[in-house]
Structure 1
Amino acid sequence: MKIGIDQIAFATTPYYLDLVDLAQARDEDPNKYLIGIGQSKQAVVPPTQDIVTLAAQAASQLNLTAANISTLIVATESGIDQSKAAGIYVKQLLGLSDFIRVVEVKEACYSATASLQFARGLVALNPAEQVLVIASDIARYGLKTGGEVTQGAGAVAMVISANPKVLSIEPVSVNYTQDVMDFWRPNYATEAMVDGKYSTNVYIDFFQTTFHRYLEQTGRELADFAALAFHLPFTKMGKKGLESEISERDDELATRLRVNLTAAQLVPREVGNLYTGSLYLGLMSLLHHGDVKPGERIGLFSYGSGAEGEFLTGILESTYQAGLGGIALDQRQRVDLATYETMFKQHLGLKSTDVTFNVDADPSRFVLAGLKHHQRQYQVKE
């Protein structure tokens, strides 16, 4: 029985910052960001958006049959509560059935892949069920920090089912986990702590380890892949991963893999870091812009700092376009540096006092209206 991604959709905030503006404000050469990091724009998060509203925005684009959704899993490293799953708010905003299982999963940027695999197991037990997996995150490193250019925000929502329209996940995958301090965020911090150069080296090592173990276990080779999709905290990271495998090659296969990586980078370089959703936004970008055909195999490398990696594969289905959501970035509003910095500082974060936000300025359907008696207040704008 085939099990995999039946539908997939993406949402981000209504605002973005052009990284040329950021470079000029930080007295940097714009090419350090545009070429060195591989990013052009990043999503800017108003105080009226968080992982709940972004998750609901993404999932609302799916064709959901509430009675068929048995489980909702939200994968995030931007949790808003130490006890209550963010998905319960999402479930309410989407109007899903009360007869549903809702949980939150965390392991840095890797947890969306873990959630996908958990979902496959649930569907295998009952093929009539569908599982809604949402990767939703806000990447924050702080103003005027080294990681500022790799911020971003957004959510990718996926329906996992039997006989999927988009991508059938193959049964063999390779997991690899080590206790590594390359990136972390203590409970008392709203911005992450990262050792960037070390993290890049760990990422490449984990890719090489999982990919080559996969080849050993399956007897497959590089030529069996039409594309390799990578976790993309910034798009240059994916290039480093791919080149670690094919840097000595200049043949037709290597050219195609490079072309498809570029296709997978197109949308992420306009949005920034999605943490848990970055791999799957890259997959969406690949399916929209790349050279991949039904029946071909796509490799996916998932990585989460701390650290955990997984290499998994999927076969593209002939019906993939029917389950592939659109990517509408043209409707976003460009903001200047002052507006970006103001919105960054308005983030609800660890505040405990009541606050009310002006939701009229946010064109999104789902908004965070504020905090009252330590409870987040959400609204659905019709």
Structure 2
Amino acid sequence: MIASDVSKYDLGSPGEATQGAAAVAMLVSADPALVRIEDPSGIFTADIMDFWRPNYRTTALVDGRESISAYLQAVEGTWKDYTERGGHDLDEFRAFCYHQPFTKMANKAHRHLLNYCGHEVDEAAVNRAIGHTTTYNAVIGNSYTASMYVALASLLDNADDLTDQAIGFLSYGSGAVAEFFAGTVVPGYRALLRSRSHREAISRRQDIDYARYREIHEHSFPVDGGDYPVPRETTGPFRLAGLSGHKRIYEPR
């Protein structure tokens, strides 16, 4: 399974500061090496116009307050459905991986869940549950579909031994639909982590100044089907080399 997205908003918009991009690739198996996903799951859906991108726009639109409210409704709704289907009690979870449109949203979400379940809410309790899950997202920014799995990678790479510990997952998509499910970390997982490569991928990124950022943000490819090369800028193993005949051309870096 591959989750890959680029989060882009208008210059000067409230969402601009949350922009980011990431991709996560996972092998889903009956004999997992890292985390075993378990039944049941809890589902929530509602018709909420909190985030959308019209066909005629290249950037998304978001109603910030409505979006936060919708997310918190989803946290409550999925948890209610999950527990009614016989899921774990809150105290049984070692950590929680939330979809993170911005890092503080995970904090808001877990505080809301603790309140909803009648638990004491303090910074220590929140940090124990989500502290290690936000490390990578705080640097990367919003990556939409990849963000919950980036949170999982961050947790596995940075937490102490999690063997046989239950992890909660909250997947969310604006509009809105959400799912809460649980997984248990399997024995031997630490020998298979790629922590070093994850950290190297983050650290090899290059800083740019604001003028260059504006230039990249406002760039768009022509749509006439001509040949348009792309400068060699990426630090990854593959790059977008150009467009030709309305096709993307990729090559090794």
Length-normalised TM-score, structure 2: 0.90
Tell me which amino acid in the other structure corresponds to 1:301. Answer: L
Alpha-carbon distance, 1:353 to partner: 4.6
Which of 164, 170, 189 does residue 295 from structure 1 map onto? 164
Which of 186, 209, 212 does residue 317 from structure 1 map onto? 186
Tell me which amino acid in the other structure corresponds to 2:206. Answer: Q
Q: Secondary structure at the match of 2:13?
A: coil
CA displacement, residues 46-88 of structure 1 (integer Å, 9 cap, x when unaligned): xxxxxxxxxxxxxxxxxxxxxxxxxxxxxxxxxxxxxxxxxxx
Indicate conservation of the 8 Å contact 1:226/1:292, yes or no: no
Report what 1:188 is aligned to. 56
Report what 1:266 is aligned to. 135
Alpha-carbon distance, 1:379 to partner: 1.5
How many residues align? The count is: 246
Which of 86, 104, 115 does residue 236 from structure 1 map onto? 104
Report what 1:125 is aligned to. none
Question: In 2, distance between residues paired with 1:272 and 1:379?
Answer: 26
Describe the shift of the 1:185–1:226 C-alpha distance in structure 2 as closer, same or farther (beyond 3 A): same
Runs of 4 or more above 3 Å deviation: 254-257, 350-353
Report what 2:249 is aligned to. 377
Alpha-carbon distance, 1:168 to partner: 0.3
CA displacement, residues 218-239 of structure 1 (integer Å, 9 cap, x when unaligned): 1631111111110001011011
Describe the shift of the 1:277–1:358 C-alpha distance in structure 2 as closer, same or farther (beyond 3 A): same
Indicate conservation of the 8 Å contact 2:205/2:235, yes or no: no
Which of 224, 238, 245 does residue 366 from structure 1 map onto? 238
Report what 2:7 is aligned to. 139
Question: In 2, distance between residues paired with 1:223 and 1:286?
Answer: 18
Q: Secondary structure at the match of 2:213?
A: helix
Q: Secondary structure at the match of 1:344?
A: helix
The answer to whether the aligner puts 1:330 opposite 2:199 as a matched pair is: no
Report what 2:218 is aligned to. 345
Indicate conservation of the 8 Å contact 2:75/2:113, yes or no: no
RMSD: 1.9
Indicate conservation of the 8 Å contact 2:204/2:235, yes or no: no
The answer to whether the aligner puts 1:160 opposite 2:28 as a matched pair is: yes
CA displacement, residues 253-305 of structure 1 (integer Å, 9 cap, x when unaligned): x8455224121111101010000001110111111223452101000000000
Which of 235, 245, 254 does residue 113 from structure 2 map onto? 245
Alpha-carbon distance, 1:355 to partner: 4.7
Question: In 1, distance between residues paired with 2:63 and 2:85?
Answer: 33
> Could you tell me the percent identity over the aligned residues?
37
Length-normalised TM-score, structure 1: 0.61
The unaligned stretches of length 5 or more in structure 2 are none
Indicate conservation of the 8 Å contact 1:226/1:256, yes or no: no
Describe the shift of the 1:204–1:291 C-alpha distance in structure 2 as closer, same or farther (beyond 3 A): farther
Alpha-carbon distance, 1:188 to partner: 1.6
